[in-house]
Amino acid sequence: MKDKGVYSFSTCWNIKRHTVGREMIEEIKELGFRQVELNYNVTEELMKTIEPMIERGEIGVSSVHNVFPFMGDKDYDTDSVMLGFDDEAKRQRSVELLIRSMDYADRYGVKAVVVHPGEVPFEYNIDSELKRLYREYGKDSAEYRRLWSEMLERRERLGPVYARRIRDSLEQAAEHAAKKGWDVAIGIETRSRCYQMPTLMEAKAICDELRGAPVYLWYDIGHAMMMDRMGLYDNLAELEQVKRYIYGVHIHETLELSDHWCPYVHSKDLKFFDHFLEAIDLARVKVYELKAACTPEEIHESHKLITGKIEGMKV
């Protein structure tokens, strides 16, 4: 199998198929990847057979995804207020969990920790309802626009409060890492729900305020595509403003509001994803984050198209 070079591959693709960590990693290696991103569902049990592979140099780890290893507490899962909690004890616990993830990253020689930093909380999952209205009535419908306005008013009103707490939490984690001498980047990821943080401009502001700390944007391409479609921000225009802040990318494409598909292959659109090739090329860590439905053949074809097009840009 052709070596995928500097590209990494997330365990989110096959984690549900495996109970033994080594077998999960071997399946990814068979695709030609020499590096993996250990996602937030990787347990300590799975790590028992993955750690020896890392130590022997059988696999490299490009990144780990906070909270790592997996913990089953819903207060601190990937869709929570996390680093922006009002409750100070919960916020401090979130900082401790991020530091734990960074400790593992340092131990494994990992370049970055991917972080879902937080959200503006709602009493229910308003994003799910908005996506239902989008699919049933369309983005321009009165039903969608009415609920979207309600979401946006609260998000814009409370966003600065949560952004400040997120910034303070990231600063705490970065200061701890500096004292420990860890060379680990924190990548704050663009998210898949409209009430979650950060937007591209929120990420830029946080990075600017923490200039000098190892806090960067983790550009999740598919998530940003979805937020653009829903109307949260202008992905392509704002990408131009944040390219220099990007440390890592999650590579996947969306079909309408469904994400984690193979770029070019599933959309059958051989042009639009070209907009993201420069960001992929610039990123220090490049990770495919694909769903289980993507087959090895589709993954190979997508990678061939991406790398071929990037090479073509440089001719």
Q: What is the tally of structural domains in the chain? A: 1
C-alpha dist (Å) from residue 269 to 272, 274, 305? 6, 10, 12
> In angstroms, how far is CA 307 from the centroid of its own chain?
21
Percent of the chain having pLDDT more than 70?
Answer: 100
Task: Measure the CA dihedral 51/251/27/296, to 10°.
Answer: 180
On whether residue 205 sits in a domain, the answer given is yes
pLDDT tens per residue, range 202-236: 999 999 999 999 999 999 999 999 999 999 999 99
- Cβ-contact 60, 35 below 8 angstroms: yes
pLDDT tens per residue, range 194-207: 999 999 999 999 99
- Token pair of 111, please? 């370049």
Query: Strands 196-197 and 185-189: what pairing?
Result: unpaired
On whether residue 148 sits in a domain, the answer given is no
| Other Cβ atoms closer than 10 A to 208 | 10
C-alpha dist (Å) from residue 301 to 125, 168, 196, 270, 298? 36, 42, 32, 12, 5
The residue range of the domain holding 216 is 7-122+163-313
Name residue 37's beta-bridge partners: 10, 63
Range scoring the smallest mean pLDDT among 63-77, 86-100, 275-289: 63-77
66: domain CATH number? 3.20.20.150
pTM across the whole model: 0.97
Q: Is the pLDDT of residue 93 over 70?
A: yes
pLDDT tens per residue, range 104-122: 999 999 999 999 999 999 9
On whether residue 211 sits in a domain, the answer given is yes
- Cβ-contact 225, 235 below 8 angstroms: yes
**pLDDT class of 1 with cuts at 50, 70, 90:** low
Percent of the chain having pLDDT more than 90?
Answer: 97
Name residue 285's beta-bridge partners: 248
**pLDDT class of 30 with cuts at 50, 70, 90:** very high
On whether residue 138 sits in a domain, the answer given is no
Question: Could you check whether the bond before residue 198 is cis, i.e. omega within 30 degrees of 0?
Answer: yes
On whether residue 177 sits in a domain, the answer given is yes
Given this model, what pLDDT does residue 314 score? 85
**pLDDT class of 72 with cuts at 50, 70, 90:** confident
On whether residue 268 sits in a domain, the answer given is yes
Q: Is the pLDDT of residue 308 over 90?
A: yes
Mean pLDDT, all residues of the chain: 97
On whether residue 56 sits in a domain, the answer given is yes
**pLDDT class of 2 with cuts at 50, 70, 90:** confident
CA atoms within a 13 Å half-sphere pointing along the CA-CB vector of 191:
23
Given this model, what pLDDT does residue 75 score? 87
Residue 265's identity, in one-letter code, is V
On whether residue 145 sits in a domain, the answer given is no
